[in-house]
Structure 1
């Protein structure tokens, strides 16, 4: 048991580092090369789609599914969330944009209460209140700046992420394998972002952009694989809690590589959102006994 926890924790820490590395690459590509979020999302999604498609052919598996429209709903919600996350990385400080993307735990709680009509346990209410407090703390500095619209747009990505995660849960309960869910999401994100990038304009492949493109695709792919493996071999609560290291690593990267300053209110907001995610990951007593 201890070995599994350590192994899962190690893989999740690697995943968090890779996700944070992808975030800083996206931010720098947008800032220095003026690449828009649509083409960045395209390169982020293309490699996983190709790798999973090739692996499927080699293993002689099938991409056919009886839950096609369920995949489409999940994929469109996930694609929208990805584009909004990349928008935030392009327009907001790194720690702020990543934290706003991780507010999905708050919206999952709200959707569970008002949409799914579930009666949440006490820990969900605690996580919800902590998450909402964190959002309020992070929004306050935005009201004093000219970035309120960008902040609200990025925050809306948390809503779409929540929808996507609820759809993933439904598809998983119906027996859909994780690789097929990831493939449909990657394929839809690739096609959608390609259309949007064509409309808004491509920067094109250059010697300057190629390292960023390869880096974003590779870090995104290996981060996804490391995270999936962490949940497979590790303890779910520990892995889910450690996933919030992405926020911490991104904040550190922002300070070191971009020279960003994080104010006291943003720090308290980030901590509140992280704690909300950790609390929401705590298993129920009955579930822990099983």
Structure 2
């Protein structure tokens, strides 16, 4: 199920903290607690379900979280070495586009009209801006704080659902949103100061 896949993918923040610990960083127990609290909030909001025959899918979802955590760790390391965000995002977009092009070879193509083209342009523009902001956050800010604040994605998605599609949230969903917000506050309190970036030669 989609909710289960999204929840497992959000374990990337936990994996990122583990990678940082193995690299010599020392995330505090408070930061780990904040990340776990945020993940619990995401799980409560999305309420994933697993069937007995979905073990492979669950493992793949967990693997996506581990790989995403490694990607964020790599972005941080690039930023610490003075790599500009624009270059990182450019090569990320290039590799992603090449991979998507290969996938399109086995997919059905649809004509792009003015409306769909405008929507695609909007998606591309906002995605690029978000990718630049995320890359800078992981590279130049407190990395685990950025990871904890990334949980707010599902909060904004829920609020957009209320505003644009008139969805309603039950008390458990509001409790989940509160947990995610609390995790961001806790991560802000417990995160160590931002590291100093080294300029590239």
TM-score bracket relative to the smaller structure: 0.5 to 0.7
Q: In the alignment, what sits opposite 1:167? A: 74
- Pair 1:246–1:136, CA change in 2 (3 A): closer
Matched position secondary structure for 1:202: coil
Is 2:52 the partner of 1:137?
Answer: no
Distance 2:110 2:61 in 1: 23
Give me the TM-score of the superposition, normalised by structure 1.
0.49
1:193 shift after superposition: 1.4
Contact 1:255 1:261 in 2 (8 A): yes
- Pair 1:130–1:219, CA change in 2 (3 A): same
Instruction: Please point out which of 111, 118, 122 is paired with 2:29.
Output: 122
1:79-127 per-residue CA deviation (whole Å, 9 max, x = no partner) reads: xxxxxxxxx9xx55xxx95x776553233224444x5475431222322
Matched position secondary structure for 1:200: coil
Cα RMSD (Å): 4.2
Q: Which runs of structure 2 are paired with 1:14-25 in the superposition (5 Å)?
A: none
1:165 shift after superposition: 0.8
1:196-219 per-residue CA deviation (whole Å, 9 max, x = no partner) reads: 133233333134421211111122
Distance 2:170 2:101 in 1: 36
Larger RCO, structures 1/2 (Cα 8 Å, 6+ apart): 1
1:175 shift after superposition: 2.9
Is 2:82 the partner of 1:178?
Answer: no
Q: In the alignment, what sits opposite 1:254? A: 161
1:20-60 per-residue CA deviation (whole Å, 9 max, x = no partner) reads: xxxxxxxxxxxxxxxxxxxxxxxxxxxxxxxxxxxxxxxxx
- Pair 1:219–1:136, CA change in 2 (3 A): closer
Instruction: Please point out which of 200, 210, 226 is paired with 2:117.
Output: 210
Could you list the runs of 5+ residues in structure 2 that have no partner in the other structure?
Answer: 197-201
Is 2:53 the partner of 1:106?
Answer: no
Distance 1:156 1:204 in 2: 35
Matched position secondary structure for 1:142: coil
Q: In the alignment, what sits opposite 2:199? A: none
Contact 1:103 1:131 in 2 (8 A): no
Is 2:181 the partner of 1:271?
Answer: no
Distance 1:278 1:135 in 2: 15
Distance 2:158 2:182 in 1: 16
Matched position secondary structure for 2:105: helix
- Pair 1:157–1:254, CA change in 2 (3 A): farther
- Pair 1:158–1:277, CA change in 2 (3 A): farther
Tell me how many residue pairs correspond in the alignment: 187
Distance 2:77 2:135 in 1: 20
Q: In the alignment, what sits opposite 1:69? A: none
Give me the TM-score of the superposition, normalised by structure 2.
0.66
Could you list the runs of 5+ residues in structure 1 that have no partner in the other structure?
Answer: 1-87
